[in-house]
Amino acid sequence: VGTDGSHRARGRGRPRDEHIDARVLETTRVLLAELGYARTTITAVARRAGVGTPAIYRRWPSRVTLIENAVFPEFPSFVLEPTGNLPADLQRYLDEYCTVLSAPAARAAVPGLISEYQTEPDAHRRIGDRVSGSTVRAAFTMLLAAAPDRDVDRAVDPDDVFDILIGAVVFHLFVRPFAGRHDDNTYITQLLLRALAPPLGKG
Amino acid sequence: VGTDGSHRARGRGRPRDEHIDARVLETTRVLLAELGYARTTITAVARRAGVGTPAIYRRWPSRVTLIENAVFPEFPSFVLEPTGNLPADLQRYLDEYCTVLSAPAARAAVPGLISEYQTEPDAHRRIGDRVSGSTVRAAFTMLLAAAPDRDVDRAVDPDDVFDILIGAVVFHLFVRPFAGRHDDNTYITQLLLRALAPPLGKG
């Protein structure tokens, strides 16, 4: 099993048809957007993509792994170079997260996957890697480190702020629209800047 | 359809068997905790509860409505009397939310429902009422209003802080455990207090 959760490097000697990989992943994204998480089954994907279910199971050991790979092909790799301007960097980081998570397939998949993880203890850590993986988390810590002392109280744990940020994004994208609230995400940046500021930096 | 989303007050003249209601709702909670959201279907609930599926559909028009009513029988009614001590009130409010949402059935149901809402536009506003309904939202605004001016910058929109709080709770309960982070929720209170504080109140 490769680092992306697929069965890439089995060394069976026969070259693998990358066209099938791409078609199955694309079909998975289409069905997620069209039918939602619950109805995006391996059987439904196989039928729509015109491949057999064994061809899918050879590549991805489960429906969860297939959906993870379809929605987050290289999610943990998005890294933004910090400029040292905290308000701007934070807003850019937030916008990037919102863009990735608001693609139609991601909207359907993320809450569905989170639901599945609750009753699947062996999925442990997968969501840590996918939604708040070490690369994005590290990038966020770097962003705070690059900011001037007047903007960041060093006593605040960057990991805690990161967790609040991701939770805020998830709520903003997936719940807030149903509460009839406005679409502008800058309140998240504003409140995080206030939470980060040192006591005297605000005076 | 009653205000709780069930078909209570149809006036069919025949007294409704409340035992069946209670048994079906309890069975739904058991299956959610045991099998997860995806496998808690009306058929599965009917079989386990020993009732026919028509008996369930007569009471709840859909699987989503059944699960909502099983998990949040009176969720929007939790109201905490504010004491005016903001750190204590905020922590109590947070703990209450964490308790309600971390029941095994709720853990499985909430992300599953959120996933379903993404591809079900007619479910609009339901999640607004269930997870961040007008009563809890209003209670939060009252909590901030009861706090002294030195703790709350009145320029901050209570609704924005509320949305950050709920997002933080959802992430804390449903994602953070999979990232190997600690279980203590007080970082949420601490960061929200910092975000709420007026510029001079921090000096």
How far, in whole angstroms, is CA A148 from its chain's centroid?
28
Query: Which residues of chain B does A169 touch, with a Cβ-Cβ cutoff of 8 Å?
Result: 167
Give the residue among A14, A122, A111 at the shortest CA–CA distance from A71.
A111
Query: Which are the contacts of B58, defined by CB distance < 8 A and separation ≥ 6?
Result: B7
CB contact under 8 A, A111 and B107: no
pLDDT at A131: 56
Give the nearest partner residue to A108 out of B36, B107, B115, using CB atoms: B115
Q: By the CB < 8 Å criterion, does B29 face chain A?
A: no
Give the residue among A72, A81, A49, A96 at the shortest CA–CA distance from A3.
A72
Give the residue on B whose Cα is nearest the Cα of A192: B195
pLDDT in tens, B30-63: 999 999 998 999 999 999 999 999 999 999 999 9
pLDDT in tens, B114-163: 888 887 756 555 655 655 556 778 888 999 999 999 999 999 999 999 99
Average pLDDT, chain A: 83
Q: How far apart are the first and last CA of chain A?
A: 54
Task: ipTM value, please give it.
Answer: 0.83
Give the residue on A whose Cα is nearest the Cα of B123: A178
A42-49 vs A63-71: helix axis angle to the nearest 10? 60
pLDDT in tens, A15-72: 567 789 999 999 999 999 999 998 999 999 999 999 999 999 999 999 988 998 898 8
